[in-house]
Amino acid sequence: MTIPFYKYQGTGNDFVIIDNRNGLFPKDNHSMIAKICDRRFGIGADGLLLLESHHKVDFIMVYYNADGKLGSMCGNGGRCIVHFAKYLNIIDENTVFEAVDGLHEASINNEIVSLKMNDVDTMEVTANSVFLNTGSPHHVEMVEDLKNYNVAEKGAFIRNNTYGKEGSNINFVEKVETNLFAVRTYERGVEAETLSCGTGVTAVAIALSETNRIDANNVELHTEGGKLFVHFNKINDTYYNVYLEGPAKQVFKGEWKW
């Protein structure tokens, strides 16, 4: 059996995406999903996305981490699958789809996708970090000399020792200029640094606002894989109308044999 697939990337965060509207993909074969994502023995990706049919909205997004296990919300994956849905002529410029954390609105203009994230009204702020959930759990910490920071070692330590078995994604942040910050992220499930993390930069933007490090409701974030933008509104303690915006690109397509 062969499975057609499409390779996508959103600011360097890369995914295998499969049209599973026929329901034939073996969703319980977690070892195969991990092999597909393996960069030496498979296609290679930070995660795998399935696009499936929905009876009310445009489609369902099912996301697996590179380890083959079902993951929490993936912001860059969400942007990439919107591009894929337009490629399949399922949508035009606007869409509503379902992910693991609920419904999401999105729009696409050429290869720029703006994805609405969930509201955030709860976070834990300490002297050194902020912890919050933007569809996935995120630890946000300001550092110096981010370019040379040991993200793999420090990220793995905090992920495992501070947050236990469930773990958390770990974001290290450095200010570049007013309302412009650099971000590097260690992702659980991938268990390594990725070039970009959509829910991560969303968490960073909200954390920066909460700790009064930005003076606007929008922020530009530079990841290792490119630029992303986050804008939001805030009333009292709730962040709403949270949007993640940036490029999504189809890289190539092929067939997986199993």
CB 223 within 8 A of CB 184: yes
Contact partners, residue 228, CB within 8 Å, separation at least 6: 11, 196, 198, 201, 220, 221, 244, 245, 246
Active-site residue identified among 34, 60, 158, 197:
197
For residue 60 the two structure tokens come to 């369902």
CA distance 36 to 102: 26
Residues 132 and 64: their CA atoms lie apart, in Å, by: 21
Instruction: Note if 37 is an active site residue.
Output: no
Cα–Cα–Cα angle for 80, 16, 71, nearest 5°?
A: 80
Identify the active-site residue in 66, 74, 195, 221.
74
For residue 101, which of 114, 119, 125, 124 has the smallest C-alpha distance? 119
Determine whether 74 is an active site residue. yes
Instruction: Report the relative pairing of strands 47-52 and 13-19 from DSSP bridges.
Output: parallel
Q: Is 191 helix (H, G, I), strand (E, B) or coil?
A: coil
Q: At what angle do helices 198-210 and 75-87 cross, to 10 degrees?
A: 130
What are 15's strand-pairing partners? 8, 47
Question: Tokens 């390594």, residue?
Answer: 192
Q: Among all residues, which ones are annotated catalytic?
A: 74, 197
